[in-house]
Structure 1
Amino acid sequence: MPATDDFTVTPYAVEGDIDYDRLLEQFGADALSPEQKARFPSPTHPLVRREVFYAERDVDPFLDAASEGTTHSIVTGRGPSGPMHIGHVFPFYFAKHLQDQTGALVYIPFSDDEKYFLKDNSLEEISDYTRENLLDLLAIGFDPERTRIVVDTADADVVYPLATAFAKEVTQSTVDATYGDPENIGLSFYPAVQATHLLLPQLVEGRHPTLVPIAVDQDPHVRVCRDIAAKQRYDVDKPGALLSKFLPSLEGPGKMSSSGDEASILLSDDRETVFEKIRTHAFSGGQTSIDEHRRRGGNPEIDVSYRLLYYFFEESDERLERLAREYRDGTLLSGELKDIAAEKIADFLDAHQERRESLDSLEAELEPYRLTADERRAARERAGFPANALIQQ
Structure 2
Amino acid sequence: MLLLLRKEDQVSSSGGKNIDYDKLITQFGCQTVDKSLLDRVQRLTGRPLPVFLRRGVFFAHRDFNKILDIYERGEKFFLYTGRGPSSESLHLGHLVPFMLTKYLQDAFDVPLVIQLSDDEKYLRDKNLSMEECERLGRENAKDIIACGFDGVSLTRTDPENKIRTLALCSAFYKNISRFSKRVTRNKADSIFGFTGEDNMRKQSYPAVQAVASFSNTFPRQFLGDDHLHCLIPCAIDQDPYFRMTRDVAPRIGYRKPALIESSFFPALQGEHRKMSASDPNSAIYFTDSAKVIKNKINQYAFSGGQESLQQHRKLGANLDVDIPVKYLNFFLEDDAELEHIKRNMARDIC
Moved more, 32-41 or 200-209: 200-209
Aligned partner of 2:299 among 280, 284, 304: 280
Aligned partner of 1:199 among 205, 214, 220: 214
Q: Corresponding residue for 1:114?
A: 120
Q: Corresponding residue for 1:136?
A: 143
Q: Corresponding residue for 1:174?
A: 187
Q: Which amino acid aligns with 1:228?
A: V
Distance 1:170 1:230, change over 3 A: same
Assess if the C-alpha contact under 8 Å between 2:304 and 2:312 holds in 1: no
Pairing 1:13-52 to 2, within 5 Å after superposition: 13-16=10-13, 17=17, 18-41=19-42, 42-52=47-57
Q: Which amino acid aligns with 2:228?
A: H
TM-score by length of 2: 0.83
Q: Which amino acid aligns with 1:211?
A: L
Task: Indicate the RMSD between aligned Cα atoms, in angstroms.
Answer: 2.4
Q: Corresponding residue for 1:161?
A: 174
Distance 1:271 1:162, change over 3 A: same
TM-score by length of 1: 0.74
Whether 2:332 is the aligned partner of 1:314: answer yes
Larger relative contact order (Cα-Cα within 8 Å, sequence gap ≥ 6): 2
Distance 1:146 1:307, change over 3 A: farther
Aligned partner of 1:270 among 281, 289, 302: 289
Aligned partner of 1:90 among 68, 86, 96: 96
Q: Which amino acid aligns with 2:206?
A: P
Could you tell me how far apart the structure 2 residues matched to 1:201 and 1:146 are? 19
Assess if the C-alpha contact under 8 Å between 2:215 and 2:227 holds in 1: no
Structure 1: segments with no counterpart, 5+ residues: 1-10, 334-393
Q: Corresponding residue for 1:211?
A: 231
Could you tell me how far apart the structure 1 residues matched to 2:24 and 2:204 are? 26
Could you tell me how far apart the structure 1 residues matched to 2:240 and 2:85 are? 19
Assess if the C-alpha contact under 8 Å between 2:83 and 2:116 holds in 1: yes
Whether 2:51 is the aligned partner of 1:54: answer no
Could you tell me how far apart the structure 2 residues matched to 1:146 and 1:206 are? 21
Could you give the per-residue CA deviations for residues 169-190 of structure 1, whole angstroms, max 9, x where no partner exists?
A: 2211210121112422112211
Aligned length: 316
Distance 1:88 1:261, change over 3 A: closer
Structure 2: segments with no counterpart, 5+ residues: 1-7, 155-161
Identity of aligned residues (%): 36
Pairing 1:4-19 to 2, within 5 Å after superposition: 13-16=10-13, 17=17, 18-19=19-20
